[in-house]
Amino acid sequence: MHMPPVVVKKRGVSVGRMVKANIVGVLLFMEILVSGYRFGVDGLSMNYYVLSCPMLEPIVRNTVSSALQADPTLAGALVRMHFHDCFIQSGGPVYDIPKGRKDGRRSKIEDTINLPFPTFNATELIRAFGQRGFNTQEMVALSGAHTLGVARCASFKSRLSDPADPSIDSEFVKTLSRTCGGGDNAEQPFDATRNDFDNLYFTALQRKAGVLFSDQTLFTSPKTKPIVNAYAFNQAMFFLDFQQAMIKMGMLDVKEGSKGEVRDNCRKIN
């Protein structure tokens, strides 16, 4: 799948990185809980909790901020959680969101077949995201979520076989090979700042240092290369397009009535 498992692991980071991770983590975690797209769509509203839980946003913000201070790598995991919730069931940029999104009543491993795979080329990615209503630019912007977190060797080791994938820089092949020396679960950050939400993911693609085939294909394909270059040059443009695409993702398959619930335990259906 295009967005591989983000492994959460505690390790030391600078205060600056922690602050950036806190910002994006808070925003994206709130997106997971209460995301939506526009007013009045499928029960979503900017004021959904104004009467039932008026202190929800500061409670969530403070809780997640505290968690991220303890472990800044959670930011990547939160992005992935939001992607899975929206895509299967149907620091960074700062934005407000409509609220009221409920949990689904189904959680099956076979549903992950709907996710893009790390072996997809640009054409396949465009088609997969297009089936969910996203255009090419939105797909590239959402792929920029790989600015956070890591991939496991199992998801990219096929690119290292002799001969290696020609789209990878020869020195980066050595880096990935060293990572895979630790086994299939060994972790490789997508870019140099795994806990910062920035545009270094796109500059890495320009250097032929995309970790997954489905990452590097965004630069090798003429359909998406101009967008990668634009985001590498203009971080503000990436942030704006990413936030709009994430809000749009929040409207996918919103559950209402008996189709959704507020889980007592987020790990299992009530």
Reported as a single tens digit per residue, the pLDDT across 48-87 is 666 677 777 777 777 767 766 776 666 655 655 554 454 4
Kindly tell me if the per-residue pLDDT of 196 is higher than 80.
yes
CATH of the domain at 100: 1.10.420.10
The beta-strand segments (E) located in the chain are: 103-104, 150-152, 187-189, 260-261
The number of folded domains in the chain is: 1
For residue 220, being part of any structural domain is answered with: yes
Question: 157-166, 232-241, 246-255, 259-268: which range is least confident on average?
Answer: 259-268
Reported as a single tens digit per residue, the pLDDT across 101-154 is 677 776 666 666 667 899 999 999 999 999 999 999 999 999 999 998 899 999
Average pLDDT of the chain, as a whole number: 77
* Residue 146 labeled ligand binder: yes
For residue 1, being part of any structural domain is answered with: no
> Any bridge partners for residue 103, and if so which?
261
For residue 109, being part of any structural domain is answered with: yes
Range of the domain at 229: 15-261
Catalytic residue among 80, 84, 99, 194: 84
For residue 95, being part of any structural domain is answered with: yes
**Distance (Å, whole) CA 242 – CA 240:** 5
Check residue 203 and give its pLDDT: 97
- CA-closest candidate to residue 147, choices 185, 195, 187: 195
* Residue 116 labeled ligand binder: yes
pTM of the model: 0.69
CA 155, 228, 111, 21 torsion-angle sign: positive
For residue 217, being part of any structural domain is answered with: yes
Does 84 participate in catalysis according to the annotation?
Answer: yes
Pair 77, 148: CB distance under 8 Å: no
